[in-house]
Every structure is written in structure tokens, then in C-alpha cells.
Amino acid sequence: MKKFALRPGTLSLHDLRAIARQHTPIALSKTAYTAIDASKKTIDDIIDEGRVVYSINTGFGALAKVRITEDKFETLQRNIVLSHATGVGKFLSDNTVRLILLLKINALAQGYSGVRREIIEFLVTLYNKQIYPCIPEKGSVGASGDLAPLAHLSLPLLGAGQVRIRGEIKNAKSELKKHGLQPLKLAPKEGLALLNGTQVSTALALMGLFATHDCFAAAMVAGALSVDAAKGSTTPFDPEIQRVRRQRGQMDIAKVYLELLKGSEIRASHKHEHDPKVQDPYSLRCQPQVMGACLDHIRFAADIFWREANAVTDNPLVFPKTGDIKSGGNFHAEPIAMAADTLALAIAEIGSMSERRIAMLIDHTISGLPPFLVQDAGINSGFMIAHVTTAALASENKSLAHPASVDSLPTSANQEDHVSMATFAARRLGDMAANTATIIGVELLAATQGVEFHKPLKTSKLLQQAIKVVRERVSHYSEDHYFAPDIRVATAMVEDGIFSEFMPQGLFTCK
């Protein structure tokens, strides 16, 4: 397989999504080594000059005033990795760990961290050989970096910890030996450079972002199908209505709905001056306003996550041109925490609107469709309890959408007295997106069912294609049957991004 040429600091969201979804070998650009070597030389010069610099010859955090002698340098760096590997909970997925490795390589290789090329090459080898360190999902507050999870990422460099290879968890030291890798002895600053940084929070946020993209695309298709299923009006999507609102996302989204519904025979059948559907329920009529707002916030979050994916976030930072080492707070993950909170609102609202449309479709007094979208209602319950499931998931997302970034507990003897909680803020996005994907999956089934009740009238050509995608996987609901497998299949369609092809290119790009 051709290797992806990694030029540090230049990863695009397209690159990140592709790598998050499927392993692609990487090769670090040769020009990066000039900056890496210069950064390392700066560290060596400082040691030779006998200067006292945080993390090189001092303790860490609240112990920063403790001076470390040169004979303890290696022990200092090794100890910080071992002592900080305190994560708990389930291990992060291979896809997430692959992205974390990539982001850590991308940051260290920019030449502001003072590590040797051997450290980066070791990480590249782990990445390319798909040897994924086992990283527990809990234990970081997202300040001073993702210390605990990044310590677990770093353990294999010392020949410690566990790795996962092709789904199997193995002892790191023995597995590395099989692949010709020997444990490294860490040089000054290298342990802290590995542990400091927002790569775990950022990777989790990116995984949530990409899942949101897939949910959003599917929700757009499902929402358009629901309009036709309920014989809704397209007037609320008129460009003039959007223009006077001046909201970019709203204007962009209304265009997509009009394109999806263009040429629908169902819409044409009831499009007249006295169309009673002018005042549709908000879940149909206000889709441009709600989904447009969600799109604006998705774009905002995407821009923050992209910047952070290419950022250098350890501490202190090395500036070879001046020979300076400067201590700051780039490890504080507040940008990720706040953007993840914003994205959580969008995920919750996408699911909430979808759940409301399902409720509308199964209510024959509003939709005009058979009760619960099934013939012989009474003997058949149809979509009745499938809707209850979506209501439960939408409600769960309301709780998960509570902002994490406003919470803070001081740590490290009050040295780290304000923290971001970014790791949780980002991690919960995955759970929320999974909930929303299921809700939208049910709506796709419900709306497809509804449209089919209007035969021989046809929906638009684009939506006919969408129905074909659904019906290739799930049959029409003609009578009650074991429904859970159908819902799982529909959810998988959403999560696999099948409906992204119905969206215009660049829809999620921040403009």
C-alpha cells in the first residue's frame, strides 16, 4: 500500500477522516528531521550550559522546584511515564488509537518538543505495523495534557504495558521483540513531551465529528423523505425566506432540501394555492433553521479540531532559532472542550428533530398515514415501540449534552487549579452520535414506509435512490416481526456514511 507522506503540521480534515476510518501507512517527510534534530540539539546545549529548565532537570507539576541531577535524568523521564499510566475503563478503539498516534507524531515532528528522531520513528513503526497501545478511556481531565492516556500510549516505548494487534491484547515487550523493536531509554524532556499534549482529546473529538457528519447527511435525507411521506410543503425551503434571515447554514441547508425534493410527484399532487400543508409541524417546516444552526456549529467545531490536530501542545516548548525554552499552557485543552460541547448540542438537536418527525409520521391524525405506519393497525403495532426507543435515546442525549467545559476540579496539589474536562467532553460525542444514528435509522425506515404508502405517486429521483439504498437492506414493514435487526441494519447505514453521497461537496467546510 502506498504510504501517506506526512508533512508535519499540514494534516487536512479529509486526511484525518480517511486515516480514522482505514489504516494507511505513513512516511515522515525527510525535511522534518532538520527541525527535529535542531530541537534536540537545543536541549543538549542547555544541559551542557548547566541551565535549570523545567522538565529537563527539575521535577514535574507541583514538584517543579525539585532539582534533578544529571545521573537521574533517564530515571526522571521513565518514572513520569510509569507513574502517570493510571487510566481506567475500557480500552479505546483501534481507530481512535491510530488517530492518537498520528496526532502525536504530527506534533512531535514539528521540532518544538526537543525529542530525538528515534522517539518519533518508534511511534511511526507502531503506527505502520498496526501495533496499538492499549489506552483506557478514562482518567484525563484535559489539562497538562491528556496525561494518563498518553502515558499508556507511551508505555510500549519502554517495553511496558499492553498492545492490541489484530484485535488481540498482548504483552508489549514480547510483541515488540517479535517485530524487531527494542525498548528505548528516554533522554531529557522526552517522557514529558510524550505525555503532554491534547492528542487524545483531539482524536476523540475528531471521531465524534466524523460520526456527526454521517448522522447529519442521513438526517437530511430522512428529513426530506419525511416531508414527502407527510405530504409536507417545500415553501419553507424557499431561498427568499432564508435570504432575509442571513444565516449561512440555514441558506445552505434549504438549498439541499430543495434539491433532494426536486421533481417529487407526491409534492406536485398537493401543491396548489390552498395547500393545507403550508403550516407543517416545526419538525418539517423549520428544518432549515434547526439543521442550518447545527451545520454552523459543526463547521465551527471542525475548524477548532483541525487547528488542534496540527498544533504543538506539549510543555515547555523548544525554539531552536533563539535557543529558548518557554513554559506556557498549550496543553490546556479548553478549545477542544468548548468546541466538543458545541458539537454535542448539534448532535442532540439532530436526533431530537428526527425523533419528532418519527412521532409525527406514526400519528395518523397529523401525517394522514396509516396508524403507526402499518396496515391492519391493532393486530399490528408497527413502529409504535421503535419510536419509544428513539424517544429514550433522544432523552439520553439531552443529559449527555450538558457542557463538560464548565466543570473543573483542581489537581496536582492545586498547581493545576483549572482543568478543561476535554477528554470526557470529546469522548461522550461518540455515545451521542451512536444514539442519534439509531434515531435517524428508525426515521429512514419510517419515512421510506410512509412514502411507499403514496404509490403509485413517486418521490423525487434522488429520494428514490435513497429508498433503493434502504430497501436493498431492509424490507417493507408489512406485518409485525422481530424489528431490532432491521433497526441495527438501518443504524449501520447511517454510521457507514452511505448517505453522504447525497450531500454537496464541501458542505461541512467552514466558510
Smallest Cα–Cα separation from 424: which of 341, 311, 347, 313? 341
- Under 8 Å between Cβ of 164 and 280: no
Residue position matching grid coordinates 472542550 = 337
Give the C-alpha separation, 52 to 257, whole Å. 62
- Under 8 Å between Cβ of 83 and 160: no
Long-range contacts: 62-65, Cβ < 8 Å, 24+? 62/412, 62/413, 62/414, 62/415, 64/415
DSSP state of 435: H
Looking at the DSSP bridge assignments, the partners of residue 377 are 380
Sequence letter at residue 147: L
**Burial tier of 246 (Cβ tally within 10 Å: 0-12, 13-18, 19+):** exposed
Instruction: At 161, give phi and psi (nearest 5°).
Output: 80, -165
Give the C-alpha separation, 121 to 140, whole Å. 26
- With a CB cutoff of 8 Å and minimum separation 6, the contacts of 221 are 260, 444, 463, 466, 499, 502
- Under 8 Å between Cβ of 419 and 142: yes
54 is catalytic: yes
- Under 8 Å between Cβ of 410 and 143: no
- Please report how many Cα atoms fall inside a 13 Å half-sphere around the Cα of residue 219, on the Cβ side: 34
- How many C-beta neighbours within 10 Å does residue 405 have? 22
Q: Report helix, strand or coil for 88.
A: strand
Q: Report helix, strand or coil for 380.
A: strand
Q: Which of 54, 112, 132, 282 is catalytic?
A: 54
Give the C-alpha separation, 117 to 102, whole Å. 15
Q: Which amino acids are annotated catalytic?
A: 54
